[in-house]
């Protein structure tokens, strides 16, 4: 009897383990761990690249190394407190680590250390940009019984503007100090004067992308999207019809910003007033709507939460 019952018990025993693994994958821990081990995996190649690329300029080596360690520590601390600010910091620093590892690979060649460093930085970058990471960090800023779920970034912003803002942020912080360390005082001062405001602008733009959410609250759902709405709008649960995938040709107000992926339609039994972001020279105007479209990063998670709150 026991040999026959063992196979039936095995799947039941494995379910908690699978659930724990799934929960771990949807937590901040993948981003934390991959960022934590990054100096061990990518540090040797970066050190070799600095030693070979600027062998005769010790101040540049010191400033570059100190800056890299400072950024690593700051981002590691930020990942321990998951918030939207931490998410922005992580998503600025992780691609920069990939770029630095790629530069090290070009400088020192395809050595084992350089290949390992690039692979580790790519894994850390993927973890930082994963929708599961965004969800964990965005919800870390929630209050009380809120549940925050991120919205997908519009495709038009991913086709250049977001990368430009990232480049302005990274270059604005890096170029000035390295130029000063190299003894190029005029270039360094000018780079700092122009770069720091550019970095501030770029960071604010990137942070605005992390502040786009659907917020489930006890009395309904809030659309918080500074790219499409001048101010957040509460959709009271008493007038919200069940959420669901948007049908083709929906006449709902489009708040997706052109984001790719599955759009969800929220229909209301009576209109609500909202203020879309003004476009061009046209002033912002209040609009009454009884249906709207949004594109969450993970539509399934939104529908699951909506069902749990009896909104789907």
pLDDT tens-digit readout, 169-211: 999 999 999 999 988 999 999 999 999 999 999 999 999 999 9
Domain boundaries along the sequence of the chain: 11-141, 213-308
pLDDT band at 2 (very low <50, low <70, confident <90, very high): very low
CA-CA distance, 35 to 59, in Å (whole number)?
Answer: 26
pLDDT tens-digit readout, 44-69: 999 999 888 776 788 899 999 999 99
For the chain, the average pLDDT equals 89
pLDDT of residue 236 exceeding 80, the answer is yes
Q: What is the pLDDT of residue 209?
A: 93
Of residues 147, 140, 174, the one with CA closest to residue 70: 174
CA-CA distance, 72 to 194, in Å (whole number)?
Answer: 24
The strand order across the sheet containing 220-224 reads: 147-150, 213-217, 220-224, 233-236
Q: Rg of the chain's alpha carbons, rounded to an integer? A: 24
| Structure-token match 């970058």, residue found | 125
Mean pLDDT for 255-281 is 88
Mean pLDDT for 126-153 is 92
Mean pLDDT for 270-287 is 80
pLDDT band at 283 (very low <50, low <70, confident <90, very high): low
Q: What is the pLDDT of residue 62?
A: 92
pLDDT band at 4 (very low <50, low <70, confident <90, very high): very low
pLDDT tens-digit readout, 67-119: 999 999 999 999 999 999 999 999 999 999 999 999 999 999 989 999 999 99
Residue 100: partners with Cβ closer than 8 Å, 6 or more residues away: 42, 46, 68, 121
Q: What is the pLDDT of residue 5?
A: 44
Q: What is the pLDDT of residue 22?
A: 73
pLDDT of residue 282 exceeding 80, the answer is no
CA distances, 58 to each of 54, 178, 181 (Å) = 7, 11, 9
pLDDT of residue 265 exceeding 80, the answer is yes
Other beta carbons within 10 angstroms of residue 138's beta carbon come to: 24
Mean pLDDT for 259-264 is 91
């Amino acid at each position: 009897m026991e040999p026959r019952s063992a196979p039936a018990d095995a799947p039941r025993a494995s379910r908690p383990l699978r659930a724990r693994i799934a929960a771990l994958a949807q937590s901040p821990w993948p981003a934390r761990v991959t960022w934590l081990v990054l100096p061990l995996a990518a540090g040797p190649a970066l050190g070799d690249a600095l030693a070979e690329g600027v062998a005769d300029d010790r101040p540049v080596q010191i400033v570059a190394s100190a800056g890299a360690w400072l950024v690593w520590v700051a981002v590691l601390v930020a990942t321990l407190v998951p918030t939207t600010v931490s998410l922005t910091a992580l998503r600025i620093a992780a691609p920069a680590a990939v770029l630095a590892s790629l530069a090290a690979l070009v400088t020192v060649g395809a050595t084992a250390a350089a290949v390992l460093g690039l692979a580790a930085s790519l894994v850390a970058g993927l973890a930082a940009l994963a929708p599961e990471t965004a969800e964990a960090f965005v919800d870390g800023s929630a209050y009380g019984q809120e549940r925050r779920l991120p919205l997908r970034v519009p495709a038009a912003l991913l086709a250049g503007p977001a990368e430009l803002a990232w480049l302005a942020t990274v270059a604005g912080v890096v170029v000035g100090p390295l130029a000063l360390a190299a003894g190029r005082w005029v270039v360094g001062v000018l780079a700092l004067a122009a770069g720091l405001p550019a970095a501030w602008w770029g960071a604010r733009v990137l942070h605005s992308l992390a502040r786009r959410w659907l917020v489930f609250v006890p009395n309904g759902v809030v659309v918080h999207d500074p790219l499409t709405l001048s101010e957040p709008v509460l959709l009271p649960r008493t007038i919200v019809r069940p959420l669901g995938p948007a049908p083709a040709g929906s006449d709902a107000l489009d708040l997706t910003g052109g984001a790719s992926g599955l759009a969800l339609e929220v229909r209301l039994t009576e209109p609500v007033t909202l203020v879309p972001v003004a476009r061009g020279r046209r002033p912002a105007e209040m609009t009454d709507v009884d249906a709207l479209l949004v594109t969450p990063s993970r539509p399934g998670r939104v529908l699951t939460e909506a069902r749990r709150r009896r909104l789907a």
